[in-house]
Structure 1
């Protein structure tokens, strides 16, 4: 018991309590908005689950702060097998979400469903960072780039084939590009990759993109596809309507022409940003974005201060993961992107989203707690 108390004291003293405070504050903001967005049905279930997830998330944050991530990174083969098996579980226990994608695992003994891809994002970042760390002095070699590309294509293929969730698959592709660039992969590989993507795009569009997904994309540039806004643009139009209703200061918490009657699609999950806009206005949206940006910047700051090559990449990867979800979620609500089912970190309702977000932040905090120098990690980016 005394050792536990000493360890906890060390975690509180050396861990990133600023990051924890930002995460908790943002999550509490999210719980308030979830409560305001679900009050119309008279149920407190969503708030209870989200609050329980927050409390559990704080405990996981402290546990991951105390845990040395180098131990887990050293088992990258097991992590690869874990990702494969976890996603494959969707074939047996997978259930469809509101978007129609088979992305969730349902277990009767849990009060919420689990989205395997949420957890796999973290393990995927660790796999990439460790792989790049082992090959950092020949990071642009064919073998190194080929290994990194294999990991990306494998997990993207699993997600697309099993769950058909292209939105989540895009996160893994974005992580691959950002971490490869920051890690020092030569720019020629990116040019070659861009050329390859351009070459296979017609084939992917024809055979891998569903008709409804094509309509969502095309409708943003061709209004004639849905002139009345009652088809593929309905959710986008409702999101924009909610934001317009809010104006500068909003219609008031627990009020709103759309959110008070539950007429905004996914108003407590994917469209939580529009719910904030209708009830708290532009000022509320800016406050939410400020908190999220502060979390992203804190992750980057911890990474940049770490002398360890792998740890820097992990922090940058986690920051990129958050940033991508923020940009896409907000972009969808603003009508800049086609509708993609991605949660707004710490704000959207979802137990698995909250827990994995705190897991990721706990890893960043643990990296801050152990700034052990890595003298072999000095690397000059090739030009």
Structure 2
């Protein structure tokens, strides 16, 4: 019996219990919203799958706490890289399925749910990028030098190109890019590099928007361009590309301060004129309609605390590798929260990004708990303050 409970006792001593508690609170809140969002179809399948995924996620969280990921990645980085690439390439097989215009999902006959490789691959991407940055620094090279920036940038561009070519998922490309920016900035890459990159993107997009698209069929045919255009002109295709965000904004606005009441949202509970993707991409709108501004602030507070906890762990990490990994996890959460909420408020384009811990998705929730389990592992290996001071960290 002692042998059975000894891992749990070890986790209780060293693991990040506060982070796990915050994740569980957010997940429980999310399950309540998913139940409301799917109640109209009189089927609890999504709720059951979400609860099972959360339970599995907790197990993964605890197991990850015991792994020294720096040692693991240093020994297995080649396999981790090859595996992450092959995982995405599996989408080109008959098991890959196209949903919503993106080839994101693997439909494996031996699994009860679909899995999203580019969602799961965020973890090896963060681990490998952290290893690459630390190797450059261990060699005594300036991480802000041209060669160093090109080196870490090349790996990132490779992954972005792979995801864009195989999946066509621009939203996930934004997430990977922001993870890179967060980790590179944390490592000491100078601000001028980011200014140059942003400037190049803005100029390129402006040229495309002003001189190229108006003279081509792409202006009216490329769906992603329409999603951006509708942000500046809400009257553009209000029953087409703008329909999802228009309804989301109406639902959030109708909730006002305290909402219409749990399970009482007219658009959430309706089958006609209803919120689209209400259990996934637009779960925030469900919260806004039924629980109002107070419910939305509570949701954002929970997610903010999780992100701040990741940053705290990064600041107290016992090695640069661990610090970069924890910051990468924080950046991953931050961009997904900002993009999803912005999408629901009609200020960001629809990119198919779910709200962490709240949106329905088995592979997503397990991946999130694995990511937070890695942060817990970093916290479990923190140096005590007096030793950290002596080591100069």
What TM-score bracket applies, with the shorter chain setting the length?
over 0.9
Q: What's the counterpart of residue 327 of structure 1?
A: 338
**Gap change, CA 1:204 and 1:70, over 3 Å in 2:** farther
Gaps of 5+ in 2: none
Q: What's the counterpart of residue 146 of structure 1?
A: 150
Q: What's the counterpart of residue 197 of structure 2?
A: 193
Q: What's the counterpart of residue 270 of structure 2?
A: 261
In the TM superposition, what is the alpha-carbon distance from 1:78 to its structure 2 partner? 1.9
Aligned pairs, how many? 376
Q: Distance in 1 between matches of 2:203 and 2:36?
A: 47
257, 263, 272: which is aligned to 1:248? 257
Q: What's the counterpart of residue 344 of structure 1?
A: 355
In the TM superposition, what is the alpha-carbon distance from 1:261 to its structure 2 partner? 1.6
Does residue 88 in structure 1 map to residue 94 in structure 2?
no
In the TM superposition, what is the alpha-carbon distance from 1:109 to its structure 2 partner? 2.2
Does residue 163 in structure 1 map to residue 164 in structure 2?
no
269, 277, 281: which is aligned to 2:288? 277
Gaps of 5+ in 1: none
Preserved contact between residue 345 and residue 354 of structure 1 (Cα < 8 Å): yes
Q: Distance in 1 between matches of 2:82 and 2:4?
A: 32
Q: Distance in 1 between matches of 2:133 and 2:262?
A: 47
Residue aligned with 2:229, SS: helix
**Gap change, CA 1:12 and 1:204, over 3 Å in 2:** farther
Give the TM-score normalised by the residue count of structure 2.
Answer: 0.90
In the TM superposition, what is the alpha-carbon distance from 1:121 to its structure 2 partner? 0.7
* Bigger Cα displacement from structure 2, 183-192 vs 352-361: 183-192
Preserved contact between residue 65 and residue 369 of structure 1 (Cα < 8 Å): yes
Q: What's the counterpart of residue 177 of structure 1?
A: 181
Preserved contact between residue 34 and residue 46 of structure 2 (Cα < 8 Å): yes
In the TM superposition, what is the alpha-carbon distance from 1:225 to its structure 2 partner? 2.7
Q: What is the RMSD of the two structures over their aligned residues, measured on CA atoms?
A: 2.2
* Bigger Cα displacement from structure 2, 201-210 vs 149-158: 201-210
Residue aligned with 1:344, SS: coil
Preserved contact between residue 308 and residue 374 of structure 1 (Cα < 8 Å): no
Q: Distance in 1 between matches of 2:116 and 2:208?
A: 25
Which string of whole-angstrom CA distances, capped at 9 and with x for unpartnered residues, describes residues 81-115 of structure 1? 11210100010121122x22111111122221101
**Gap change, CA 1:304 and 1:103, over 3 Å in 2:** same
Give the TM-score normalised by the residue count of structure 1.
Answer: 0.92
* Bigger Cα displacement from structure 2, 291-300 vs 251-260: 251-260
Preserved contact between residue 106 and residue 114 of structure 2 (Cα < 8 Å): yes
Q: Distance in 2 between matches of 1:219 and 1:103?
A: 24
Which string of whole-angstrom CA distances, capped at 9 and with x for unpartnered residues, describes residues 336-380 of structure 1? 1111100100000000110000000000001000115799x979x
Q: Distance in 2 between matches of 1:237 and 1:192?
A: 35
In the TM superposition, what is the alpha-carbon distance from 1:150 to its structure 2 partner? 1.2
Q: Distance in 2 between matches of 1:238 and 1:193?
A: 35
Q: What's the counterpart of residue 243 of structure 2?
A: 234
Does residue 118 in structure 1 map to residue 119 in structure 2?
yes
In the TM superposition, what is the alpha-carbon distance from 1:223 to its structure 2 partner? 3.7
Q: Distance in 1 between matches of 2:310 and 2:165?
A: 32
Q: Distance in 1 between matches of 2:230 and 2:35?
A: 33
Residue aligned with 1:96, SS: strand
